[in-house]
Structure 1
């Protein structure tokens, strides 16, 4: 089954790894901006964005995968100055989305940076991949939704990612897409089944968040097979391909 992994960090994987993903059916993926150490300079992230757009998309093609770039300031990657980064984002016409952006600890700085990026995204009509953390996920997700509502951010432009069993319902109730991440410490394939059986297939996209840390880079393909066996091929294809194509306008 053809699959779309909507959140990876391809820099942490070799071309051979990407080719293995493609061989297992992952024919499209979005590589999200993340820097594994806190950047000292805003130019560091700007060059990262350029790399994702120009070089990572090229590596994906070499591996047999359509690899699309998402750019943005991750809450754990906020440099001291970031005005030039926002200017780059505002003039960007090559990335498919802003991501991953969001909150980690919901500090005042994180809230300010997220809000500024969301306002640019709304101006550009750009979809956003919005991070939620492992710790305090319920509280931080609630704060994320409050920010989105406060600025009246369009529901059609937001996927709130790394949703958990506890946070799926409030995300869907507000009309946002929910990103289901299949990895240890996030969701198992069985939990994905539990979620979609309860809430339907309309507002979910699936990802692995594979990248720099040990992870199952083919988790989306494996989950797709389980979804197909449990729910039928039509519903499975919507979750692992169709919804992503719709949300990211491909």
Structure 2
């Protein structure tokens, strides 16, 4: 690992991915990930579904990632799409304090707007208040429709609630929103998709134009058409396109560590010099190996 670049994917939904993804990510140099709370493709119908999901983000999924040498963190929140079911949303809001203090929870998120409804605004503001009360970082989901207006509204509401822009990550940016986000002092994250939203070629041009300060690359890989290797692939394209290695390290590793590591829960020491993979471990008597011989690797990243 000494000469190999390391990457952090600070927005990837590994609950929806396979062990093959974990293996490929580790081989490509991904050492840490952040999994934001999000919706599962169809509406949840009861609060227990959220409770089990949040529990998996602080329990099973960190274990699963560890079996492939990747450190797993998450963000906890009520996503904007499901905020519109107010009867259920009220119950989810009551759940959040049970999870936000868990050791791998590095932010409140991903929260924000989808259709920019009154209900979405209500629960967005409630969660911003919780983040402010606890001094936590916030991860914002910007809407896919009417994105620029929704992004500006998201930032204005954060400022109304007295949040420090440097402690708020605005995600799902594109060329239309990046300047406004950076000019206001927020952190601009970009989700790289194979065919839609932001592609890695476009990401190269964003970094070429705006530099690497306060810019983060992530994959947002989930149950849809997406790529769990988007971060290392974009880094490689940046290097081949003449972007400096320093700028690649900042946008694909260091900026994410700095942004999400402010509360001390996410530390570089978690993957540097702390030992290797031990697949003989179990989680609630379960293994990911399905009968294969466990790999025990005591090599350390130095």
TM-score past 0.5 threshold: yes
Rounded to whole Å, the distance in 2 between the matches of 1:34 and 1:213 is 13
CA contact (8 A) 1:27 1:65 kept: yes
Q: Tell me what 1:198 maps to.
A: 209
Q: Which has the larger radius of gyration?
A: 2
2:98 matches 1:88: no
**Equivalent residue in structure 2 for 1:228, among 235, 239, 261:** 239
Q: Which has the higher contact order (CA 8 A, sep 6+)?
A: 1
Aligned counterpart for 1:153 among listed residues 155, 163, 185: 163
Match of 1:2 in 2: 6
Partner of 1:248: 260
- Please state if 1:110 is matched with 2:123: no
Give the 5 Å matches for 1:50-129. Answer: 50-78=55-83, 79=85, 80-91=87-98, 92-94=100-102, 95-129=105-139
Question: In the aligned structure 2, how far is the partner of 1:73 from the partner of 1:101?
Answer: 6
Shift of 1:7: 0.5
DSSP 3-state at the match of 1:96: strand
Q: 1:205 and 1:123 mapped to 2: Cα distance?
A: 26
Superposed CA deviations along residues 182-223 of structure 1, whole A, max 9, x for unmatched, are 113211112112111221211011111101112121111011
Q: 2:172 aligns to what SS in structure 1?
A: coil
Where structure 1 has 5 or more consecutive residues not aligned to the other structure, the ranges are none
Q: Is the 8 A contact 1:228 1:235 kept in 2?
A: no
Paired with 1:233 and 1:161, the residues of 2 have a C-alpha distance of: 23
Q: Give the CA deviation at 1:22.
A: 1.3
Aligned to 1:188: 199
- 1:106 deviation in Å? 0.7
Gaps of 5+ in 2: 262-266, 268-302
8 Å CA contact 1:132, 1:140 repeated in 2: yes
What residue is the counterpart of 2:282 in the other structure?
none
Deviation at 1:127, TM superposition (A): 1.2
Q: Distance in 1 between matches of 2:132 and 2:238?
A: 33
Higher share in helix:
1
Please report the TM-score for the alignment, with normalisation by the length of structure 1: 0.95
Shift of 1:51: 0.8
1:178 matched to 2:183:
no
Alpha-carbon offset, residue 170 of structure 1: 0.8
- Supply the distance in 1 between the matched residues of 2:36 and 2:159 (Cα, whole angstroms): 24
- The corresponding residue for 1:215 is 226
Q: Distance in 2 between matches of 1:217 and 1:226?
A: 16
Maintained 8 Å contact 2:159/2:165: no
TM-score (normalizing by structure 2): 0.79
Match of 2:18 among 14, 19, 35: 14
Question: How many residue pairs end up in the alignment?
Answer: 250
Measure, in 1, the Cα distance between the counterparts of 2:47 and 2:216.
Answer: 31
**Distance in 1 between residues matched to 2:131 and 2:48, nearest whole Å:** 20
Between stretches 69-78 and 2-11, larger displacement belongs to 69-78
